[in-house]
């Protein structure tokens, strides 16, 4: 929903405005820069909460300045609890709350976020990231200047970089060294799954005057979100991608009828002639040349474009169900299912969440993921194998919780990735392989046209758990 770029160095303050324009898509509503000496902190804003004045960033107080990207659902409660004032924008509480309780702030924030709090007196920055790493944040050096950024494409050149860890970390603005200060704690809960699902959806609904979209594939996850969200708002605009003879299209028709959804946009697949330029767009957006991130990212990118054209800034999505609730059939018989599940969750910041965030933010769309709520994660972390998998099915607990919401054919629908269900993967695979080369080889050539960086860094190409499947994939199977 916003973009952050901090630079430190002799040319940092003069370079920042130009570099900040490269992530203008993350925040087209406002742009502002704070600077002190050779430190400059820039911010671009997509306004969701409060007006442009109330939510203006960076915020400054003495030697401290902060920039925050994300959404805090309990900010009014925190403002009251800590006597911070009558704030209407969630970002306004971050700096004063940090001044009161320091790194413990992450144990109080309920939401998804990344943020930077700079102290120019000690030449250090405290960085915050949510429990899933949903909002990106990197540190590195570019032509001798230190940077902290939401997207690497802001830089002309990168000498070195690394993603900042989830939780609270401290960056030495001179050396670039990163020290983890505090990690997230599990959110204890005694609520049942049904109540947690409803609360997770409800808290992510924007104010009634803010238009709301939902990406609907006809699969279990997005259909569940639609069934709950539609109980609280009857004006949601639903977006689905695919051909009329595709599996997603038919499933969505069933969901529309059962839930009596009123406003649905069927986004058509692009023509074959459009695929080359669209692939280039999604490579630039996601900063990746991993085939899965590209084909699934293109599906997300097309949905986000349609949502933005409809005047929408906020959408709900079903991301997270497969990782938290056991949605991948490849791992339902392995002895190491717990370790694999945790790796999938830990890697989401580089895989599915990176794809979702950057494909949506390319069109200035904020994507909210109820199924990644912190309490849902804590609950599912306690699940046994039998609560996730059976001999012929996955996501057992999630399916059971949906029995009163969804028809049997949606409840029991086998997982189909968005790119396959919509038909976009086949178009991408056919184009990338038309010269007899692999998808990765073609994508790397496209990637190199936009990023003069070291392409060997895992961030640009890796999907650790799935790479062995991705390299063998066809047009329709995982």
Question: What's the pLDDT band for 476 if we cut at 50, 70, 90?
Answer: confident
Q: Which residues pair with 449 in a beta bridge?
A: none
- Reported as a pLDDT band with limits 50, 70 and 90, residue 422 is very high
Q: Is the CB of residue 245 less than 8 Å from the CB of residue 253?
A: no
pLDDT at site 85 = 83
Superfamily of chain region 2-182: Aminohydrolase, N-terminal nucleophile (Ntn) domain (3.60.20.10)
- Asked if the peptide bond before residue 108 counts as cis, ω within 30 degrees of 0, the response is no
pLDDT at 98 over 90: yes
Pinpoint the residues of the chain covered by CATH 3.60.20.10.
2-182
At 132-148, the pLDDT tens digits run 999 999 999 999 999 99
Q: Are 13 and 7 in contact (CB under 8 A)?
A: yes
* Strand-pair partners of 386: none
Q: pLDDT category, 29, cuts 50, 70, 90?
A: very high
Which two three-digit tokens encode residue 439? Answer: 């998808």
Peptide bond into 150 cis (omega under 30): no
Instruction: Check pLDDT > 90 for residue 468.
Output: no
Specify the higher pLDDT residue, 373 or 411.
373
Burial class (CB in 10 A: 0-12, 13-18, 19+), 196: buried
Residue 188 predicted with pLDDT over 80: no
Q: Residue with structure tokens 């190199």? A: 448
Q: Is the pLDDT confidence value at 54 over 90?
A: no
pLDDT value for 472: 83
The Cα–Cα gap between 394 and 346 comes to 20
Q: Which of 85, 88, 12 is nearest to 50 (CA)?
A: 88
Q: Given this structure, which CATH class describes domain 193-470?
A: alpha beta
Confidence of residue 412 (pLDDT cuts 50, 70, 90): confident
Residues 113/138, Cβ–Cβ less than 8 Å: no
The residue with tokens 């997603």 is 248
56 to each of 31, 51, 113, how far by Cα in Å? 9, 8, 16
Task: Determine the average pLDDT of the residues in 237-247.
Answer: 91
pLDDT band of 416, cuts 50, 70, 90 = confident
pLDDT of residue 52: 57
CATH 3.40.50.620 spans which residues of the chain?
193-470
> In the beta sheet, which residues pair with residue 263?
237
Q: Is 365 left (phi over 0), alpha (psi -120 to 50) or beta?
A: beta
pLDDT band with cut points at 50, 70 and 90 for residue 292: very high
Q: β-pairing, 212-215 with 314-316? A: parallel
Rounded-to-integer distance, Cα 34 and Cα 116, Å: 12
Angle (CA) 320-451-367 rounded to 5° is: 25
Pair type for strands 237-241 and 212-215: parallel
Rg for the chain (alpha carbons), in Å? 22
Q: The tokens of 198 are what? A: 């409803």
Does the pLDDT value for residue 407 go beyond 90? no
pLDDT tier, 477 (very low <50, low <70, confident <90, very high otherwise): low
* Average pLDDT estimate for 300-311: 98
How large is the average pLDDT for residues 92-118?
97
Q: What is the pLDDT of residue 51?
A: 57
50 pLDDT band (50/70/90 cuts)?
A: low
Mean pLDDT of 8-25: 91
Percent of the chain with pLDDT over 70: 98
pLDDT digits (tens, 9 = 90+) for 313-371: 999 999 999 999 999 877 776 778 899 999 999 999 999 999 999 999 999 999 999 99
- How confident is the model over 158-169, as a mean pLDDT? 98
Mean pLDDT of all residues belonging to the chain? 94
How would residue 399 be classed by pLDDT, with cut points 50, 70 and 90?
Answer: very high
pLDDT at 332: 72
């Amino acid at each position: 929903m916003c973009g952050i770029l901090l630079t430190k160095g002799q040319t940092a303050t003069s370079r920042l405005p130009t570099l900040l324009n490269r992530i203008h898509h993350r925040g087209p509503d406002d742009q502002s820069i704070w600077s002190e000496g050779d430190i400059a902190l820039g911010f671009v804003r997509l306004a969701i909460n409060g007006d442009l004045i109330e939510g203006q960033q960076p915020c400054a107080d003495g030697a401290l300045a902060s920039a925050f990207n994300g959404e805090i659902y309990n900010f009014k409660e925190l403002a009251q609890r800590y006597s911070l004032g009558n704030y209407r924008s969630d970002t306004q509480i971050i700096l004063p709350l940090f001044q009161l309780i320091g790194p413990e702030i992450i144990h109080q924030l309920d939401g998804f976020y990344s943020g930077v709090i700079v102290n120019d007196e000690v030449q250090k920055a405290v960085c915050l990231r949510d429990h899933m790493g949903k909002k990106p944040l990197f540190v590195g050096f570019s032509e001798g200047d230190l940077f902290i950024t939401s997207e690497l494409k802001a830089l002309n050149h990168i000498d070195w970089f690394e993603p900042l860890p989830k939780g609270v970390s401290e960056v030495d603005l001179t050396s670039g060294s990163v020290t983890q200060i505090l990690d997230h704690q599990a959110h204890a809960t005694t609520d049942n799954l049904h109540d947690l699902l409803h609360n997770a959806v409800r808290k992510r609904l924007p104010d009634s005057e803010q238009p709301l979209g939902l990406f609907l594939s006809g699969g279990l996850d997005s259909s569940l979100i639609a069934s709950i969200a539609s109980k609280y708002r009857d004006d949601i605009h639903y977006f689905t991608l695919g051909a009329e003879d595709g599996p997603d299209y038919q499933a969505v028709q069933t969901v529309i009828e059962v839930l009596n959804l009123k406003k649905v946009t069927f986004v058509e697949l692009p023509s074959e002639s459009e695929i080359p330029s669209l692939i280039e767009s999604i490579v630039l957006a996601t900063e990746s040349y991993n085939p899965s991130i590209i084909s699934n990212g293109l599906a997300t990118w097309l949905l986000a474009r349609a949502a933005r054209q409809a005047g929408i800034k906020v959408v709900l999505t079903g991301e997270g169900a497969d990782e938290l609730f056991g949605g991948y059939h490849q791992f339902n018989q392995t002895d190491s299912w717990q370790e694999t599940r945790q790796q999938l969750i830990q890697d989401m910041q580089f895989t599915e969440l990176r794809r979702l965030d950057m494909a949506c933010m390319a069109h200035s769309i904020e994507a909210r993921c109820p199924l990644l709520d912190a309490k849902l994660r804590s609950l599912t972390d306690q699940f046994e194998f039998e609560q996730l998998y059976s001999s012929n099915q996955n996501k057992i607990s999630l399916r059971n919780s949906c029995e009163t919401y969804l028809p049997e054919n949606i409840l029991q629908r086998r997982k189909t990735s968005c790119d396959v269900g919509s038909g976009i993967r086949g178009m991408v695979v056919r184009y990338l392989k038309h010269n007899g080369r692999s998808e990765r080889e073609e994508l790397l050539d496209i990637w190199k046209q936009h990023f003069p960086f070291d392409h060997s860094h895992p961030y640009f190409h890796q999907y650790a758990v799935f790479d062995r499947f991705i390299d063998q994939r066809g047009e329709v199977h995982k």
